[in-house]
């Protein structure tokens, strides 16, 4: 079955760079149509999509965060790595990674999610 | 960006009630809409994709409808396990965007 799990620091200081890793199993990011996205959720607030990488290395970013983001994949390790530079307290949130399969009936909806990892930005 | 607006923001209902949540897109998204359920401290769970297709394993009391800019999620008979927050999400264009959420509370 498909599982995803986020890992990374729980606390970062303002201006630092955040690096999060999504480690997954049950699928391969070399399979046509597969993608892994990142979605975050500040405490008590709504979900916000901000990055996505596909099997063919196509990458998509939220315009509001694009200048700060880099998403990469390591197919051999079944991992997706996200870096976000210049962290600010407003970036405090739970960060989720999620799977999609473009060619499935579900299309680009996120059908499997990791448990999320809470990141606090504070000095 | 396409704005997704959900109404109501909060809904108080009783077990057995029929519940309807509306999601409006700021421009047409055809049927490229998903609905998720989220419980406190948990990841969202896909309920509905392509506006009206029920995800495998999701109870049939959940249904989705709509196309273009107006969508609804209906729970035909609210069960205790359904008290949660519900989000719509468009996947027609980038950036992908979510609604602000609808919290279904116990009346």
Q: How far apart are CA A117 and CA A103, in angstroms?
A: 28
Q: What is the pLDDT of residue B76?
A: 98
Mean pLDDT of chain A: 98
Rounded to the nearest integer, the mean pLDDT of chain B is 98
CB contacts < 8 A (A, B): 69
Q: What is the pLDDT of residues B49-91, one digit of tens each?
A: 999 999 999 999 999 999 999 999 999 999 999 999 999 999 9
State the average pLDDT over residues A95-119.
Answer: 96
pLDDT of residue A78: 98
CB contact (8 A) between residue A96 and residue B44: yes
Q: Which of A47, A107, A108 sits opposite B44 (nearest CB)?
A: A47
Cβ–Cβ gap B43/A113 under 8 Å:
yes
Q: For residue A109, give the nearest of B1, B49, B100 by CB distance.
A: B49
Q: Does A47 touch chain B (CB under 8 A)?
A: yes
**Which ranges of B1-107 would DSSP assign to H, the alpha helix?**
none
A55 touches chain B (CB under 8 A): no
A72 reaches B (C-beta below 8 A): no
Sign, CA dihedral B78-B79-B84-B87, equals: negative
DSSP conformation letters of B3-28: -EEEE-SEEEE-TT--EEEEEEESS-
DSSP label of A117: E
Q: Which residues contact A58 (CB under 8 A, 6 or more apart)?
A: none
What is the reported pLDDT for B57? Answer: 97
Chain center to CA of B64: 8
């Amino acid at each position: 079955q498909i599982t995803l799990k986020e890992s990374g620091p729980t606390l970062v200081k303002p201006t630092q760079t955040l690096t999060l890793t999504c480690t997954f199993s049950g699928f391969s990011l070399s399979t046509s149509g597969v993608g892994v996205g990142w979605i975050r959720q500040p405490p008590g607030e709504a979900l916000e999509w901000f990055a996505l990488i596909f099997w063919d290395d196509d990458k998509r970013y939220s315009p509001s965060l694009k200048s700060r983001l880099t998403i990469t994949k390591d197919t051999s390790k079944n991992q997706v790595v996200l870096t976000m530079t210049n962290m600010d307290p407003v970036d405090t949130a739970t960060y989720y990674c999620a799977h999609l399969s473009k060619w499935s009936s579900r299309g680009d909806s996120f059908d499997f999610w990791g448990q999320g990892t809470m990141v606090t930005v504070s000095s | 960006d396409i704005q997704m607006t959900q109404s109501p923001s909060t809904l108080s209902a009783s077990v057995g009630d029929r519940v309807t949540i509306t999601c409006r897109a700021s421009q047409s998204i055809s049927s490229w809409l998903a609905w998720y359920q989220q419980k406190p401290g948990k990841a969202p769970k896909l309920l509905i994709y392509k506006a009206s297709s029920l995800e495998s394993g999701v109870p049939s009391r959940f249904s989705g409808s709509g196309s273009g800019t107006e969508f609804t999620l209906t729970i035909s008979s609210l069960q205790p396990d359904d008290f949660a927050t519900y989000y719509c999400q468009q996947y027609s264009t980038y950036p992908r965007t979510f609604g602000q959420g609808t919290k279904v509370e116990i009346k």
